[in-house]
Amino acid sequence: MSDSERQDSEDLSFEHLSITLDGHVAVLTIEREEALNALNAALLLELASAFELVEGDAGVRALVLTGAGRAFVAGADMRAFADVRDAFSGRDTALSGQDVMSVLAALPIPTVAAVNGFALGGGLELALACDLRVAARGARLGLPEVSRGVIPGYGGTQRLQRLIGLARASDLVLTGRMVEAEEALSLGLVNRVADDALEGALELAQQCARNAPVALGLAKEALMRGADLSLAQGMEVEADLFGLALTTDDAKEGVASFLEKRDPRFVGS
C-alpha cells in the first residue's frame, strides 16, 4: 500500500472484505451482510490473505477488525458442516479455521475487534484471536455450538479459558448462552463498552499506534509467550526482549524525546 493510498484510505479489492486506512491504523471490515458475516471457507481464505497483507505494510501499526451491518460475525456458516461425514474431515475443518485465527493472533501489531451486534461461535473465536475487544452496547457474544450438537472448533475453548478463566469459560461453553456487552465487560471478555464499537476500537487502536512500532511488537511477543510459561521463565523472556528493544533507534528516540521534553518521532526501527 502506497503513501497515497494510506492517505486517501482507499479500499482494497476483496469479495467479502474491505480494508481502509486511518493514519497508521488499518480497518478491516467483513462484508457478507446477507449472512450476518458468517464465516465460510472462502471468507476464511480472504481473511488470511488480508492479515498477511496488513502484516506486510510497515506503515500499519494497529489493526481494527469489524463487521458490516447488524453483526460482527454471527458464527460459522453451518451449511459448510452439513457435508462432513467423518471425524478426520471434521478435524481438518477445525484446523483450517484455527490456522486463520492463529495468523491473526500472531500479527506483530496490536489488533482490536470492534464488536457490533452479534459475535457468536466462529465470530467470537475471531474476536478472541484479537488482542483487545470493544463491544457496542447491545452487542451479544457467545459460543452456542453445543446447542447445535457440536463444540467450538476455531480455538474458542482454549482462548476463552485463557482470557477469563476456566470456571467462567465453562459457564459460557457448556450452557451455550449469549451475554450482552455489559456482562462481557464484567467477565473480562471485552476490554471496553462503547456507544459505537468502531469509534471506540479506533480510539483504542490509535492510542496503541502512537507508540514505538518495534516496542509494540516486542511487548506483544512478551505477553503472548509468557502466558504459557512459569513466572520465572516469563521473566527471562521479558529480559531478552527488553534487551532487544534497547538496541532500536526508536528506543534512542524515546529516551532523547523524554530528556528534551518533546513528543517522540518513531520510525519503526
Annotated catalytic residues are: 125, 145
Angstrom CA distances, 198 to 24, 27, 63, 79, stand at 16, 9, 12, 29
CB–CB of 151/145 below 8 Å? yes
H/E element holding 177?
Answer: none
Residue from 9, 1, 49, 21 nearest 209 by CA: 21
**Reduced to 3 states, what is the DSSP secondary structure of residue 158?**
helix
DSSP category for residue 117: S
d(CA 81, CA 93): 9
DSSP category for residue 178: E
d(CA 51, CA 104): 6
d(CA 80, CA 186): 34
d(CA 49, CA 52): 5
Please list, in sequence order, all residues whose beta carbon lies within 8 angstroms of the beta carbon of residue 82, skipping any fewer than 6 positions away. Answer: none
d(CA 135, CA 131): 14
What nine digits make up the cell of 17? 472484505
**Reduced to 3 states, what is the DSSP secondary structure of residue 245?**
helix
- Maximum CA extent, the chain: 66
